[in-house]
Amino acid sequence: MELKSKCPTGPIEQQWQKHKAEMKLVNPANKRKYHIIIVGSGLAGGSAAATLGELGYNVSCFCYQDSARRAHSIAAQGGINASKNYQNDGDSTYRLFYDTVKGGDFRARESNVYRLAEVSTNIIDQCVAQGVPFAREYGGTLSNRSFGGAQVSRTFYARGQTGQQLLLGAYQALQRQVGLGQVKMYPRSEMIDLVVVDGRARGIITRDMVTGKIESHVGDAVILATGGYGNVFYLSTNAKGCNATAIWRAYRKGAGFANPCYTQIHPTCIPVSGDHQSKLTLMSESLRNDGRIWVPKKKGDTRKPDQIPEDERDYYLERKYPSYGNLAPRDISSRAAKQACDDGRGVGPGGLGVYLDFADSIKRLGKKVIEERYGNLFEMYERITDEDPYKVPMRIYPAIHYTMGGLWVDYNLMSTIPGLHVLGEANFSDHGANRLGASALMQGLADGYFVIPYTIADYLAQLKGPKIDTSHAEFKKAEAEANERIKRLLSIKGKRTVDSFHKQLGKVMWDKCGMARTDAGLREALALIPQIREEFWKNVTVLGSGDELNQSLEKAGRVADFLELGELLCRDALERDESCGGHFREEHQTEDGEALRNDEKFCHAAVWEFQGDGKPPKRNVEPLEFEFVHLQQRSYK
């Protein structure tokens, strides 16, 4: 597998400009001759579809939900970063770039990160123009808040619903193109395979989730913007439908899968309430602006929080990281919470929780201000837990939230399969081993609005060879395989439900490959997962038929892929014998329990190459160089 990053050279602040000037263009009259397939309609896919449609390309966009507006970007709460420096507090493109590289624990590609920081300001402008109702100051200017891992205030927000508002902006732009006939939208359609013809991505196979029909779609380029694979853990903050099938099928067709072990655990989620739990709910990181995190100093302290006096509380983030305090990056905050709970000082049922306390802020600012800032989050918390966070401190615990790993892409966001582009969380590119808060929205929109429209033209302009259609043998073959797989799932008629396998896999993943990983634990997981997979294919039961809406069948296909991906994730975690960002190997930590990188051996992206079923995948390496931000031990003290 050849891993050419195609990063421009020269001073980093000129790279993207230079690259844009050098890339080939598609003439306006020719654009409509190209057909682009986009899978996913979230911030990355939706913005790409809208923009490419607007440019005149012929676009087909697919999503599994009933409408493009439901993509899980909608659930992002806190905000979107941009280095506007409207606060005059010392922000700049360079500082956002620096914070992101450092926050990612030096495991991201510098050129990509710089570009991301550079276009971040355009995103805000674009979204304002679309009518995204960002929070405003009394003078009418845009308002900012602070987020983890930064000492400047650069996060733009729309109450606690920033993702929703940004997505609706992209969705409206997309629907406008649908109305104009530039984009054809395929809701309730799931991509179940990628079609590669003569080494190029030329189309996809989908299942119409209403009629069950297996369909072929041919295009000149394919864009995957299908989000992350956090649901491999069963319990995560992802939507129930989020899945890895699109990227996993692409991996099996030859796309390199980079750094699957980089998973992000979000420190502020509502703790699990019982076995029935179907998903975890995030409480925005923005709460850490005004909430203080603490646990009792005494182990097994069962007193009510208001009965624990001030000097018997351990505000451990403020204690350990005085300069960032409660706004330490996510990986660090999560691990600190885990350490406190492992230490027997956790609170709530099962001792798996820490307090996020607003009492001081309410005293200082008044209930009204807190209500204005976080009212909807407090309400959501109250609905789920039946506790009033204005009176009782919230209980939070870390949960799987985001996956930094994903399909490997070059600077042009193209995977190792020519013609297959990957955007947003589905790719691996910009966040290294840990993503900073409010950067996912930024990356999704950067990729969709401001990167892919340029880079895809460069690919299409150089495209040669005859046009093909869906009668091509590769399409027929892929369709037959898809049908075969569905038939197989329906014919097992075993005894266990799909969910029971998913939960079993999730438990192994969380226990052995969650917040802290060990050599022995990962080896156990690598032994267990194939067993679960084997039982799945023998003993799963999927009722109903393939030619109707069948939610069990949809889940079964996704879980089957998770059962393969989970293994790769553990394998990657085992091979990466260091700690970095969200990947924490207990063997590698500093004296005070921080992640200890091994830059000599692991300053690279690990890119996995599928070798066929039953054969171990091949680990390729893209070395990472840090020319502009020098390698250093991360410190947030």
Partner 1 sequence: MNLTLRVWRQKNRNDAGRFVTYEAPGISPDMSFLEMLDIVNERLIEKGEEPIAFDHDCREGICGMCGLVINGVAHGQRRATTTCQLHMRSFSDGNTIVIEPWRATAFPIIKDLVVDRSAFDRIVSAGGFISAPTGSAVDGNAILVPKDDAEMAMDAAACIGCAACVAACPNASAMLFVSAKVSHLGHLPQGQPERYDRVQKMIAQMDAEGFGACTNIGECEAACPKEIKLLNIGRMNRDFIRASTAAKG
Partner 2 sequence: MSAVATVSPLSSSVAKKVVVALTGLVLYGFVFVHMMGNLQLYAGPEKINAYAKLLKANPPILWGARLFLLAAASIHIILTIQLALKNRAARPVGYAGQAFQAASFASRTMIWSGPIIGFFILFHLLHLTVGSVHPDFSHTDVYANVVRGFQSAPVAGFYILAMVLLGFHLQHGAFSLLQTLGLRFPKYEKQAKLLLGAITFVIVAMNISFPVAVLAGIVK
Least Å from the CB of residue 258 to partner 1: 27
Residue 2 DSSP one-character state: -
| Angstrom distances, CA of residue 303 to CA of 48, 298, 393, 597 | 52, 10, 13, 39
Which partner in partner 1, partner 2, none is near 9 (CB below 5 to 8 A by kind)? none
Q: Check binding of 276 to partner 1 (CB under 8 A).
A: yes
Least Å from the CB of residue 176 to partner 1: 5
Per DSSP bridges, beta strands 214-218 and 406-407 are unpaired
* CA pair distance 457, 211, nearest whole angstrom: 35
Reduced to 3 states (helix: H, G, I; strand: E, B; else coil), residue 82 is coil
Q: Check binding of 122 to partner 1 (CB under 8 A).
A: yes
Q: Check binding of 17 to partner 1 (CB under 8 A).
A: no
Task: Give the footprint of partner 1 on residues 73-92 (CB under 8 A).
Answer: 74-75, 84, 86
Which partner in partner 2, partner 1, none is near 181 (CB below 5 to 8 A by kind)? partner 2
Q: Considering beta carbons, is residue 285 or 314 the nearer one to partner 1?
A: 285
* CA pair distance 374, 132, nearest whole angstrom: 19
Pick the binder of partner 2 from 28, 179, 465, 614 (CB under 8 A). Answer: 179
Please spell the DSSP secondary structure of 114-137, one letter per residue: HHHHHHHHHHHHHHHHHT----B-
Least Å from the CB of residue 185 to partner 2: 10
Pick the binder of partner 1 from 114, 262, 408, 449 (CB under 8 A). Answer: 449
* CA pair distance 312, 320, nearest whole angstrom: 16
Reduced to 3 states (helix: H, G, I; strand: E, B; else coil), residue 289 is helix
Instruction: Select from 235-243, 288-296, 356-364, 521-529 the region that touches partner 1 (CB under 8 A).
Output: 235-243
Task: Give the footprint of partner 1 on residues 181-200 (CB under 8 A).
Answer: 185, 187
The interface mask with partner 1, positions 20-59, x = CB under 8 A, is ---------------------------x--xx--x-----
Q: Considering beta carbons, is residue 173 or 478 the nearer one to partner 2?
A: 173
Beta-carbon count within 10 A of 593 CB: 16
**Number of residues engaging partner 1 in binding (CB under 8 A):** 82
Residue 142 amino acid letter: L
Q: Considering beta carbons, is residue 86 or 324 the nearer one to partner 1?
A: 86
Which two structure tokens, joined as six digits, stand for 609?
């190459």
The interface mask with partner 2, positions 130-169, x = CB under 8 A, is ----------------------------------------
Which partner in partner 2, partner 1, none is near 382 (CB below 5 to 8 A by kind)? none
Q: Considering beta carbons, is residue 181 or 466 the nearer one to partner 2?
A: 181
Which partner in partner 2, partner 1, none is near 366 (CB below 5 to 8 A by kind)? none
Q: Considering beta carbons, is residue 181 or 309 the nearer one to partner 2?
A: 181
Instruction: Select from 108-116, 177-185, 315-323, 346-354 the region that touches partner 2 (CB under 8 A).
Output: 177-185
Please spell the DSSP secondary structure of 485-554, one letter per residue: HHHHHHH---SB-HHHHHHHHHHHHHHHHSSSB-HHHHHHHHHHHHHHHHHHHHHB---S-SSS--HHHH
Which two structure tokens, joined as six digits, stand for 589?
């930590």
Which partner in partner 1, partner 2, none is near 47 (CB below 5 to 8 A by kind)? partner 1
Beta-carbon count within 10 A of 491 CB: 8
Q: Detail the DSSP E strand segments found in 404-437.
A: 406-407, 420-422
What kind and span of H or E run contains 357?
A: strand 354-357
- Selection from 182, 177, 168 nearest residue 131 by Cα: 168
Pick the binder of partner 1 from 87, 552, 589, 598 (CB under 8 A). Answer: 552
**At a CB cut-off of 8 Å and minimum separation 6, what does 605 contact?**
107, 109, 258, 259, 408, 428, 621, 622, 624
Beta-carbon count within 10 A of 357 CB: 21
Least Å from the CB of residue 179 to partner 2: 6
Q: Check binding of 59 to partner 2 (CB under 8 A).
A: no
293, burial (CB in 10 Å: exposed 0-12, middle 13-18, buried 19+): buried
Task: Give the footprint of partner 2 on residues 305-324 (CB under 8 A).
Answer: none
Least Å from the CB of residue 107 to partner 1: 29
Least Å from the CB of residue 563 to partner 1: 19
Which partner in partner 1, partner 2, none is near 277 (CB below 5 to 8 A by kind)? partner 1
* CA pair distance 260, 188, nearest whole angstrom: 27
Least Å from the CB of residue 329 to partner 1: 23
Least Å from the CB of residue 173 to partner 2: 16
Least Å from the CB of residue 483 to partner 2: 31
Instruction: Select from 178-186, 317-325, 343-351, 544-552 the region that touches partner 2 (CB under 8 A).
Output: 178-186
Q: Considering beta carbons, is residue 135 or 596 the nearer one to partner 1?
A: 135
Residue 83 amino acid letter: S
Q: Considering beta carbons, is residue 66 or 312 the nearer one to partner 1?
A: 66
Instruction: Select from 85-93, 175-183, 393-401, 568-576 the region that touches partner 2 (CB under 8 A).
Output: 175-183
Q: Check binding of 178 to partner 2 (CB under 8 A).
A: yes
Q: What is the b/e burial string over 302-330, where b = at least 16 CB atoms within 10 angstroms of the residue's CB?
A: eeebeebeeeebbbbbeebbeebbbbbbb
| Residues 564 and 260 sit within 8 Å (Cβ to Cβ) | no
Q: Check binding of 130 to partner 1 (CB under 8 A).
A: yes
Pick the binder of partner 1 from 72, 313, 338, 502 (CB under 8 A). Answer: 72
Which two structure tokens, joined as six digits, stand for 364?
């200082």
Q: Check binding of 181 to partner 2 (CB under 8 A).
A: yes
What is the Cα Rg of the chain in Å? Answer: 24
Instruction: Select from 86-94, 174-182, 304-312, 355-363 the region that touches partner 2 (CB under 8 A).
Output: 174-182
Which partner in partner 1, partner 2, none is near 480 (CB below 5 to 8 A by kind)? none
Q: Check binding of 124 to partner 1 (CB under 8 A).
A: yes
Pick the binder of partner 1 from 165, 216, 226, 243 (CB under 8 A). Answer: 165
Task: Give the footprint of partner 2 on residues 77-116 (CB under 8 A).
Answer: none
Q: Count the helices and strands in the chain (H runs, E runs).
A: 18, 19
* CA pair distance 555, 165, nearest whole angstrom: 29
For 90, left (φ over 0), alpha (ψ -120 to 50), or beta?
left
Least Å from the CB of residue 70 to partner 2: 20
Q: Check binding of 241 to partner 1 (CB under 8 A).
A: yes
Least Å from the CB of residue 109 to partner 2: 41
Residue 408 amino acid letter: W
- Selection from 219, 260, 214, 336 nearest residue 619 by Cα: 260
For partner 2, the binding residues (CB under 8 A) are 178-179, 181
